[in-house]
Amino acid sequence: MSQPSSSTTPSPRPSPSRVPDAVHRRRWAILGVLMLSLLIVVLDNSILNVAVKTIAAPAPAGIGATQSELEWAINSYTLVFAGLLFTSGLLGDRLGRKRVLLFGITVFGIGSALAAVSGSPAELIGYRAVMGFGAAFVMPATLAILMNVFERDEQPKAIGIWAGSVGLAIAIGPITGGVLLEHFWWGSIFLVNVPVVILALVLMMWLVPDSKDPKPGRIDVPGVLLSVVGLVLLVYGIIRGGELADFINGTVLAPLLAGLAVLVGFVLYERRSDHPAIDMAYFRKPAFSAAVAAIALVFFALMGVTFFSAFYLQSVRGYSALQAGLLILPLAVAQMIFAPRARLVVERFGAKAVCTAGMVAVAAGLAAFTFFDASTPVWVLEIVFFLQGAGMAHIMPPVTVSVMQTLPREKAGSGSAINNTFRQVGGALGVAVLGSVLSTTYRGEIEGHLTGLPPALRAAAGESIEATLGVAEKLGPSGESLVAPAYDAFLDAMHMTAIGSAAVALIGAVVVAVFLPGRAPTGGAGGDEGPEAAGGAGGPGGATAAGSASGAGGPAGSDGSDGDTARPSVPGPTAGTGESARR
């Protein structure tokens, strides 16, 4: 009896996995740890917003911070955070992402403990900057590690969950802050981070594997310095412009123009460098550039509306900080529901259609604010917040996948840094520009009602609705005539700002509709490594990532610290088919 010939009955060769088995088995636990560290970093930036009134109170209730000092307590975090994001991503690729993550979360915890016992506004501002320094090393590392513990076919799902946790943190920050302030002193909003940081550190050391670029080359010192200086100057100019509500002031234009000039110099230098910090060729790929532009635009629009919605809910509608936080909860719920499932919609309709629809939904939610007044039913607010959350859930995961899967896996830290830098700068710009529109419009509307006030009070009362209501309260019965005009002026200003926010979101819709890739072609052999295979990541990263990562015999640049022996690579397609090989 003849034996069957292997040449006539070929068996398919299973493509190799790039993730060691031990790491693969605990990948969801690792994601949970990454989400925990990300949660406290994002949450703490939103939790401070509900505590500003308490911190402004005289001791012992607060520390007597002025309005300017309160703004810098928030902005010092943002300035350091945004300025170092790109650098921290590069260091993660070079030194090891786990090491960078452990360093960042430790610094963040120390800064939190110090901020909790601040004795003066200056100390609080300084310790918030320390927190921002630590956070800058946490956020890029979480996404970079995620890309190195999940196979390509599972990355969109994992990124969806990761993005959902960001939305959750933004929404529960005000709720957590409200609960803490009702029962403890103001420093508790920072001290609560410390036990969470300790828990995260223990779990990270136990579960998270390390990875880095196996061939990082020489460090691009000039490029790193140019990126830090340029981003710090740009973000400082944006923040300063928002404070003054004037973007043509010399103290605003100088850092803005200097920052832009330095960043242009950074781009020109990187294009000519033989060891660039980031390959500028990626930005010539429409899918990559559209993705980072969409991230910036959606956060520009959304952070602006988050800024004025807090005043609307608390100052106009009279809700407490805790109640206002609870009212925004549908935004987080929608993101938690839809973000992890966005990949399924992308697989069916393509990234272009899904992200465009998401942008239109966000724009519709923002435009709805133009119809809100002091008596709009609460259920209408809840529907609008849910719509915004659903829109965000169908934007952030696909565009993040597009950015991360365009770059080779060993450059995951750089990709994560680019993703987060554009988001942070877009958000800061949104608060500054749309906050300026809100402030300028409000001042123009209320000035006619302040003519009877003493000159010293008139200037203060025109700054914001909170300032007007504060002056009215000081004046007693004679100040009651200012309350209704203040509400009307704020609503007019909010409507104008909402129109601007919606317009920016619509611009984002046009960008993704034109430049993001459409529905991925079907019928491939099990696991196309092409960028679109995972939900819209156009660009060069498909083949490059496959070749470099599989050549390393494990997660790109894995140092083997998890104790696994990497599998040898074999020729053939290396798309996210490691899962199939296991099955």
Tens place of pLDDT per residue across the chain (583 aa): 444 444 444 444 444 556 667 666 778 888 888 888 888 887 776 677 677 767 777 777 778 777 667 777 877 887 888 778 778 877 777 777 888 889 999 999 999 999 988 888 889 889 999 998 998 888 878 878 887 788 777 778 888 887 777 767 776 777 777 788 778 888 888 888 899 899 989 988 888 887 766 666 667 778 778 888 888 888 888 778 777 767 788 888 898 899 899 988 888 887 887 777 677 777 777 778 888 888 888 888 777 666 677 778 878 888 877 787 788 888 878 888 888 888 888 888 888 888 899 999 999 998 999 999 888 999 999 999 899 889 988 888 888 877 777 776 666 666 677 777 777 778 777 777 777 788 788 888 877 777 777 777 777 777 777 777 777 777 777 777 788 888 888 888 889 888 988 898 898 889 888 887 766 554 443 333 343 333 333 333 333 333 333 333 333 344 444 433 333 333 333 333 333 334 3
**Count of CA atoms in the C-beta half-sphere (13 A) of 376:** 18
**C-beta separation of 220 from 86 below 8 A:** no
Distance CA 244, CA 524 (A): 56
Tokens of 115: 């901020």
334, 500 contact by CB (below 8 A): no
Element (H, E) at 505: helix 483-515
Contacts of 3 (CB under 8 A, 6+ apart): none
Tell me if 374 sits within 8 A of 396, measured CB to CB. no
Three-state secondary structure call for residue 433: helix
Going from the C-alpha of 243 to that of each of 19, 202, 431, 438, 447, the distances in angstroms are 48, 40, 10, 12, 19
| Local structure of 495: helix, strand or coil | helix
DSSP reduced 3-state for 82: helix
Contact yes or no for 381/309 (Cβ under 8 A): no
Rounded to whole angstroms, how far apart are CA atoms 163 and 337? 11
- What are 5's two structure tokens? 């010939």
- Looking at the chain, the number of H-run helices and the number of E-run strands are 24, 0
H helices of 184-273, in order, are 188-191, 193-207, 221-244, 250-272
Structure tokens of 121? 């506004």
Q: 206 to each of 107, 210, 562, how far by Cα in Å? A: 19, 11, 9
Residue 119's pLDDT is 84
Q: How far apart are CA 389 and CA 309, in angstroms?
A: 14
Structure tokens at 310: 């807090």
CB 551 within 8 A of CB 566: no
Which alpha helices (DSSP H) does 48-154 contain, by range?
52-56, 67-95, 97-116, 121-149
Conformation bin of residue 530: beta by default, left when phi > 0, alpha when psi is -120 to 50: beta
pLDDT at 518: 67
Q: Which residues pair with 558 in a beta bridge?
A: 211
**pTM, whole model, 2 decimals?**
0.72
- The answer to whether the beta carbons of residues 210 and 561 sit under 8 Å apart is yes
pLDDT for residue 552:
34
With CA atoms as reference, report the closest residue to 135 among 163, 166, 107, 96.
107
Tell whether omega for the bond before 485 is within 30 degrees of 0, i.e. cis: no
CA-based nearest residue to 529, from 71, 3, 61, 153: 153
Residues facing residue 211 across a β-bridge: 558
Closest Cα partner for 135 from 458, 420, 372, 367? Answer: 420
Residues 71 and 48: their CA atoms lie apart, in Å, by: 11
